[in-house]
C-alpha cells in the first residue's frame, strides 16, 4: 500500500502541557493542570505558536479538544489554514464510558449516526469479534469533533499501536491505513515506543514509507530497544519511513541545545514534535530546531 505524500511541517506543536502530562514531575503536572484549566489559556498559547510560524497541532482526542475545534471553526481568519493531527484513541474516555454505560451504551454514546444502526453494527462487530469494523466505528467516533478542520494525518496512539504489536495483530494497522485514506482522505500515522519494530511491520504488511512518531533522544528515554538500533534505522537508506521525533528533551532530562543538536544528526527525520507553555519557550525551541535540524536536514 503506497501512501499519498503529505508534506508535513518541520515543526509540530504538541499538547502534553495542556493536559497535565509530565513524565518526570507530578508537581509540574499539577501546575499545568491549574494553568490550563480554562480553554482560553490553551487557545492563547496556540495563537502564540501560530504567530511564531507553527501551523500544525498534534493532539490526543480529549473531550476538551472538541471545544478547541469549535473555536477554530468560529475563527477561520486565524485558524482556517491550521492543521490538526488527531491521535486516537483516548483510552480513558472509553474505559470510563464502558464502566458507566456498558459496551453497547458506550458505542451509542460516541458513535456518529443513527443510534439503532450504530448499536446494531457495533453489537454485531463485538459479538463476531470483527476488529476491523470496531476500529472503523471508533475512528469515526474520534473524528466527529474535527469536522471542518484540516486533518491531513491521523495517528494511532502508542497505547494501542504497541498493544497490537504485542498481540501480533498487524492486519489492524493495514485496515486502519486503508480506512483513513478512503474515509478521510488522510495519511495514516503511528505513534510507538518501538520505532524499529514498527518500521519492520509496515514493510511486511505493505504500508510503504509510513509516518512513524517515536521518542528519539540521546539517552534512550521511552525508547524500546537500544539507542544504537534507533540510530541504525535513522541512517540506513534501506529503511524507508518518515520519522517524527518526539520527547527529544526526554521530559526535561536534557537541555534543549544538546537535545536538538542530537536530532540534527539524522537527515531522515522529517518533523520534530514539541510542547511548550509560554511564548518564550516556543520561540527558543523553534530557533534551536531551525538552527540545528532544519538547516542540517531540510535545505
Domains and CATH numbers, the chain: 11-90+147-297 (3.20.20.70)
pLDDT value at residue 109 = 62
Between residues 267 and 116, which one has the greater pLDDT? 267
Between residues 68 and 114, which one has the greater pLDDT? 68
β-bridge partners, 85: 58
Helix/strand/coil for 103: helix
Least confident residue range of 1-15, 69-83, 182-196, 254-268: 1-15
- Residues 6 or more apart from 43 whose CB is under 8 A from it? 68, 71
User: Are 274 and 14 a contacting pair, CB within 8 Å?
Assistant: yes
Mean pLDDT value of segment 82-104: 73
The answer to whether residue 12 scores a pLDDT higher than 70 is yes
Three cell numbers written together for 39: 480553554
The answer to whether residue 211 scores a pLDDT higher than 90 is yes
The answer to whether residue 43 scores a pLDDT higher than 90 is yes
CA–CA separation, 97 and 59 (whole Å): 21
pLDDT value at residue 226 = 94
User: Are 180 and 3 a contacting pair, CB within 8 Å?
Assistant: no
The answer to whether residue 93 scores a pLDDT higher than 70 is no
Q: Please report which confidence band the pLDDT of residue 138 belongs to, taking 50, 70 and 90 as the band edges.
A: confident
CA 275 to chain centre: 12
Q: What pTM does this model have? A: 0.85
CA–CA separation, 132 and 174 (whole Å): 10
Mean pLDDT value of segment 155-164: 93
pLDDT value at residue 24 = 54
CA–CA separation, 150 and 145 (whole Å): 12
Amino acid at each position: 500500500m503506497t501512501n499519498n505524500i503529505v508534506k508535513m511541517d518541520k515543526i509540530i506543536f504538541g499538547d502534553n502541557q495542556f493536559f497535565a502530562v509530565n513524565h518526570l514531575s507530578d508537581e509540574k503536572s499539577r501546575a499545568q493542570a491549574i494553568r490550563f484549566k480554562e480553554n482560553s489559556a490553551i487557545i492563547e498559547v496556540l495563537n502564540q505558536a501560530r504567530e511564531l510560524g507553527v501551523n500544525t497541532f498534534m493532539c490526543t482526542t480529549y473531550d476538551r479538544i472538541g471545544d478547541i475545534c469549535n473555536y477554530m471553526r468560529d475563527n477561520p481568519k486565524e485558524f482556517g489554514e491550521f492543521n490538526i493531527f488527531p491521535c486516537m484513541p483516548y483510552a480513558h474516555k472509553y474505559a470510563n464510558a464502558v464502566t458507566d454505560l456498558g459496551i453497547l451504551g458506550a458505542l451509542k454514546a460516541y458513535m456518529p449516526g443513527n443510534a439503532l444502526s450504530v448499536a446494531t453494527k457495533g453489537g454485531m462487530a463485538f459479538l463476531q469479534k470483527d476488529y476491523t469494523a470496531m476500529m472503523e466505528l471508533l475512528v469515526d467516533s474520534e473524528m466527529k469533533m474535527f469536522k471542518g478542520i484540516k486533518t491531513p494525518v491521523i495517528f494511532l496512539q502508542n497505547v494501542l499501536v504497541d498493544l497490537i504489536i504485542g498481540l501480533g495483530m498487524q492486519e489492524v494497522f493495514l485496515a486502519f491505513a486503508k480506512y483513513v485514506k478512503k474515509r478521510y482522505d488522510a495519511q495514516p500515522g503511528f505513534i510507538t515506543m518501538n520505532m524499529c519494530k514498527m518500521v519492520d511491520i509496515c514493510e511486511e504488511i505493505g504500508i510503504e514509507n509510513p509516518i512513524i512518531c517515536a521518542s528519539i533522544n540521546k539517552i534512550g528515554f521511552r525508547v524500546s530497544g537500544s539507542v544504537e538500533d534507533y540510530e541504525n534505522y535513522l541512517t540506513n537508506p534501506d529503511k524507508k519511513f518518515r520519522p517524527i521525533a518526539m520527547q527529544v528533551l526526554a521530559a526535561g532530562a536534557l537541555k534543549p541545545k544538546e537535545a536538538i543538536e542530537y536530532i540534527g544528526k539524522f537527515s531522515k527525520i522529517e518533523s520534530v514534535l514539541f510542547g511548550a507553555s509560554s511564548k518564550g519557550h516556543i520561540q527558543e525551541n523553534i530557533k534551536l530546531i531551525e538552527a540545528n535540524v532544519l538547516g542540517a536536514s531540510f535545505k
